[in-house]
Amino acid sequence: MTTYVIQFTYVAAAALFILSLKWLGHPTTARRGVRVGELGMALAIVGTLLHTEIVSYQWILVGFVLGSAIGLPLAVFMPMTHVPQRTALSHAFGALAAALVGTSEYYLRSGELSTFTMAVLSVEVILGFLTFTGSLMAFGKLQDLVPSRPIVYPGQNAVNLSLLAAAVGCAVYLVRNPGSSALFPVVAGLSLLFGVLLLIPIGGADMPTVIALLNSYAGLSAAAMGFLLDNNLLIVAGALDGSSGFILSVIMCRAMNRSFTNVLFGGFGQVRVAAGAVEQRSARSATAEDAAAILEAASSVIIIPGYGMAVAQAQHKVRELYDALTRRGVDVKFAIHPVAGRMPGHMNVLLAEADIPYDRLVEMEEINPEFPRADVSLVIGANDVTNPAARHDKASPIYGMPILDVDKARTVMVIKRSMSPGFAGIDNELYYMEKTMMLFGDAKHFVGELVKEMTGARLGA
């Protein structure tokens, strides 16, 4: 009877995971997707705890307490601006768990492993350990614990590929000779080192794609663990995680006009010296009073959020600005670039936290045709995704990357702390256009000043 209950909970959990992924694909159903995914995971845990093979629940209880002690504070106190770092840590912990399970199974069953079992165990361990250290490096770059710029050196690709080839070669030998236990630590060590070296040449601008790719690796490691433990739910969940992460990586690369090889082995994000001609240009700055007067007279405004908004935690002030404009009858929309921020959906999450209506968030392909009809484009902390150089400058590292056509609006306003370049390390041509007004300052403070100016004008009227 217990076996049937376990299988039922596993089937139900797998179905809920699939529905969760489907509903997470749209902002209006995302909350439902999260809840359904949580329910599916709860069923998966319950089904696993019902297994008769469990000898003692003591260490399971210890793990539950320790995991909760770490996970609950992370969930409660982690600000929404740090969601990318939180996601990277989740990948690291999940991948480490899979790798450690593979390690324990190898030493427990080394004399009994079949060729197929040893093969999936090797995949699990290699992907698990490299994802663990790679995710920690991604966390460090996002948290500024390690340099976010690419760290490159001559022959780097050859070194990385040689390490990976050595790890795979040792794993193949283990598949043919499972009893050669002295090689197993070598495979683990090379995988851990490869994860570090894989991430150091990758710059911050590619981090959204890298996070999605690490998610795929962690999922594939979990799927391999499912084959190792003969657990169908792990196979299904891992395959869903791995495939969705891979598909998301492809989507992100297309959004940036990048290839996987460029992301993994390129130097995108490295700071470059701007051309002298660009440095001689002057930008036109304006005050909050000037900007508020133009916004009040507008009938259509498109707001473009970026990482600067996230860093300043300005999303709630942006909501106040949205309310102030809509009360005046202004049509306000938010243009969402797929790689704005530090991870896919970063801007959507922040704006949803501020209760911006979902139907006001418009993806790049749909919003771009509306810019020529907009009175104002208000850029808040976005840089490379608004740079017109991506259309025509073949020497630019972002050439060919689809961008938001903010420069086609009648007036462009940019809230930014300074004229410093974004992660691509190049000047933004948008800042030097005649129609552009630079609004220098912290995004949260400046948007607050705009709201004060508009509210004061309304009260005065």
DSSP assignment letter at 274: P
206, 384, 405, 427: the catalytic one is 384
Are 338 and 364 contacting, i.e. CB atoms less than 8 angstroms apart? yes
Tokens 């490159």 -> residue? 152
Task: Give helix 315-327 / helix 443-460 axis angle, nearest 10°.
Answer: 20
Find, among 395, 128, 137, 157, the residue nearest to 262 by Cα. 157
Residues 199, 180: Cα–Cα separation, whole Å: 30
pTM of this prediction exceeds 0.85: no
Domains and CATH numbers, the chain: 19-73 (no CATH), 78-265 (no CATH), 276-460 (3.40.50.1220)
Tokens 């400058």 -> residue? 393
DSSP assignment letter at 51: -
> How many CB atoms lie under 10 A from the CB of residue 359?
9
331-336 and 411-416: which strand pairing? unpaired
Query: Residue 331 is inside which H or E element, if any?
Result: strand 331-336
Are 422 and 384 contacting, i.e. CB atoms less than 8 angstroms apart? yes
Across the strands, what pairs with 334?
Answer: 303, 361
Residues 428, 381: Cα–Cα separation, whole Å: 12
At 303 the three-state DSSP class reads strand
Are 221 and 97 contacting, i.e. CB atoms less than 8 angstroms apart? no
Across the strands, what pairs with 303?
Answer: 334, 378
What does the pLDDT profile of the chain (461 residues) look like in tens digits? 678 888 889 999 999 999 998 888 777 788 899 999 999 999 999 888 887 677 778 888 998 899 899 888 888 887 766 777 888 888 899 999 999 999 999 988 876 888 899 999 999 999 999 999 999 998 888 887 887 777 878 888 889 889 999 999 999 999 988 888 888 999 999 999 999 998 888 776 667 778 888 889 999 999 999 998 888 889 999 999 899 888 888 877 776 666 666 666 555 544 444 444 445 567 788 898 999 999 989 999 999 998 888 888 889 999 999 999 999 899 999 999 887 776 777 788 888 888 888 889 988 889 999 999 999 999 998 888 898 988 888 777 777 788 899 999 999 999 988 777 666 567 888 899 989 999 998 889 999 999 998 887 554 44
Give the phi and the psi of residue 400 in degrees, each rounded to 5: 90, -10
Predicted local distance difference test score (pLDDT) of residue 350: 84
Query: Residue 324 is inside which H or E element, if any?
Result: helix 315-327
Per-residue burial over 193-210, b if 16 or more Cβ lie within 10 Å, else e, is bbbebbbbbbbbbbbbbb
Q: Is 384 one of the annotated active-site residues of the chain?
A: yes
Across the strands, what pairs with 450?
Answer: none
